């Protein structure tokens, strides 16, 4: 019999990277209510309760989440997808009125982080190094074309000449052109308190990815990256979990994007620093979290697939949120 400390709703539990975090929360006494738009999302069947919800930008998504919160009465709501975070943060007061902690930055910050152009301007203004951007007229090759509002590595293309540039600019929605940087690619996992004060910062190298999901990684102590990420977190008041991406080479480090959520490989940082889960629980219980910047250095993660088998009539969870 599990002794539950708190109840947490975790949204967008569908990808391979989300299941280990659900299990880690459960191991630490959390009753996890999982939501996802896909009834065959594996994370739903690992969660203690499960709900299928509309997409984050669907007009019915907000009411669906409010209904679930009324039923489940969670201590904390942890969004984990960009459109869902935009919708929920814009309506944070509705959840506060129910006594629920919505663990994400305020709406204006979420909106800034969702927009890569705005993110770059903000980072440039506070002295954080970012990639050079080009117009179609002054592009230097090779370069990168990617969507301004994209997430992960989808629709990101390496461009080698003007003909390719013209093609990919027509293919990508709201494209931006960025310098191509070779080097070590880092994802930095951060947890911050409700004022945006960083509690833990763990850089990890993405050794191998599949469809944008980190399948092999290693933690590394990089003081310069850690200091930059502390500054970013404080300046933007990045409440809750964040995953900041950057590239380091012999010329230095440049910061690419900010995600207001746990990353697909954040379970590596969770195992490297136990305080991440402990602080999530403390925040959910309205207790004072602790700062802990120590972590296991050079901890390597090797990821593999696992299966869930569903008997007949068990594949579609009941949606009580309507």
Helix/strand/coil for 205: strand
Kindly tell me the burial class for residue 140, based on how many C-beta atoms sit within 10 Å of its own C-beta (0-12, 13-18, 19 or more).
exposed
Look up the CATH number of domain 6-104.
3.40.50.20
**CA distances (Å), 193 to each of 28, 183, 312, in order?**
19, 31, 43
Nearest of 161, 160, 239 to residue 198 by alpha carbon: 239
Average pLDDT, the chain: 94
- What's the whole-number mean pLDDT along residues 226-243? 98
Name the band, by pLDDT with cuts 50, 70 and 90, for residue 322.
Answer: very low
**pLDDT over 90 (residue 296):** yes
Between 322 and 194, the more confident residue is 194
Question: Can you give the pLDDT at residue 4?
Answer: 78
Q: For residue range 174-203, what is the model confidence (pLDDT) as tens digits?
A: 999 999 999 999 999 999 999 999 999 999
C-alpha 40: how far from chain center: 21
Look up the CATH number of domain 132-179.
3.30.1490.20
Between 320 and 221, the more confident residue is 221
**pLDDT over 50 (residue 168):** yes
Question: Can you give the pLDDT at residue 211?
Answer: 77
DSSP labels, 273-294: -THHHHHHHHHHTTPPP-----
| Distance, CA of 310 to CA of 298 (rounded, Å) | 37
- What's the whole-number mean pLDDT along residues 215-227? 97
Question: Can you give the pLDDT at residue 268?
Answer: 98
What is the token pair recorded at 114?
Answer: 């969702």
In 133-173, the DSSP E strands lie at 133-134, 143-147, 157-159
Collect contacts of 275-279 with beta carbons under 8 A, ≥24 apart: 275/191, 275/199, 275/200, 276/189, 276/191, 276/200, 276/202, 277/24, 277/25, 277/28, 278/28, 279/191, 279/193, 279/199, 279/200
* Domain assignments of the chain as residue spans, ordered by start: 6-104, 111-117+182-302, 132-179
Question: Can you give the pLDDT at residue 18?
Answer: 92
- What's the whole-number mean pLDDT along residues 106-123? 97
Name the band, by pLDDT with cuts 50, 70 and 90, for residue 152.
Answer: low
Q: For residue range 274-289, what is the model confidence (pLDDT) as tens digits?
A: 999 999 999 999 999 9
Question: Can you give the pLDDT at residue 312?
Answer: 82
Name the band, by pLDDT with cuts 50, 70 and 90, for residue 124.
Answer: very high
**pLDDT over 80 (residue 297):** yes
Which letter does DSSP use for residue 127 in this model?
T
Which letter does DSSP use for residue 214 in this model?
E
Question: Can you give the pLDDT at residue 92?
Answer: 98
Question: Can you give the pLDDT at residue 315?
Answer: 67
Question: Can you give the pLDDT at residue 3?
Answer: 73
Question: CB under 8 Å to 137, separation ≥6 — which residues?
Answer: none
CATH T-level topology, domain 111-117+182-302? D-amino Acid Aminotransferase; Chain A, domain 1 (3.30.470)
Name the band, by pLDDT with cuts 50, 70 and 90, for residue 154.
Answer: low
Question: Can you give the pLDDT at residue 15?
Answer: 78
């Amino acid at each position: 019999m599990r002794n539950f400390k708190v109840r947490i709703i975790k949204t967008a539990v569908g990808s391979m990277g989300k299941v280990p975090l659900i299990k880690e929360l459960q191991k630490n006494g959390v009753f996890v209510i999982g939501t996802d738009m896909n009834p065959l999302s594996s994370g739903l069947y690992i969660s203690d309760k499960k709900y299928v919800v509309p997409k984050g930008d669907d007009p019915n998504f907000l009411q669906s989440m409010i209904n679930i919160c009324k039923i489940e009465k969670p201590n904390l709501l942890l969004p984990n997808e960009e459109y869902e975070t935009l919708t929920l943060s814009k309506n944070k007061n509705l959840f506060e009125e129910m006594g629920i902690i919505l663990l994400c930055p305020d709406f204006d910050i979420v909106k800034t982080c969702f927009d890569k152009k705005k993110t770059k301007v903000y980072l440039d203004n506070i002295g954080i190094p970012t990639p050079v951007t080009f117009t179609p007229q002054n592009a230097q090759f090779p370069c990168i074309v990617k969507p301004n509002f994209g997430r992960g590595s989808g629709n990101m293309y390496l461009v080698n000449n003007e003909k390719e540039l013209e093609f990919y600019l027509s293919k990508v929605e709201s494209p931006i052109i960025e310098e191509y940087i070779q080097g070590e690619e880092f994802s930095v996992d951060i947890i911050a308190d409700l004022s945006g004060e960083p509690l833990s910062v763990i850089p990890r190298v993405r050794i191998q990815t599949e469809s944008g999901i980190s399948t092999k990684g290693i933690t590394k102590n990089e003081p310069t990256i850690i200091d930059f990420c502390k500054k970013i977190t404080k300046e933007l008041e990045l409440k809750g979990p964040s995953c900041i991406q950057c590239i380091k080479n012999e010329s230095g480090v440049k910061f690419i994007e900010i995600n207001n959520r746990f990353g697909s490989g954040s379970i590596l940082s969770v195992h490297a620093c136990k305080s991440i889960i402990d602080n999530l629980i403390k925040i959910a219980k309205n207790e004072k979290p602790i700062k802990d910047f120590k972590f296991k250095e050079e901890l390597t993660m090797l990821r593999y697939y696992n299966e869930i088998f569903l008997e007949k009539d068990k594949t579609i969870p009941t949606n009580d949120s309507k």
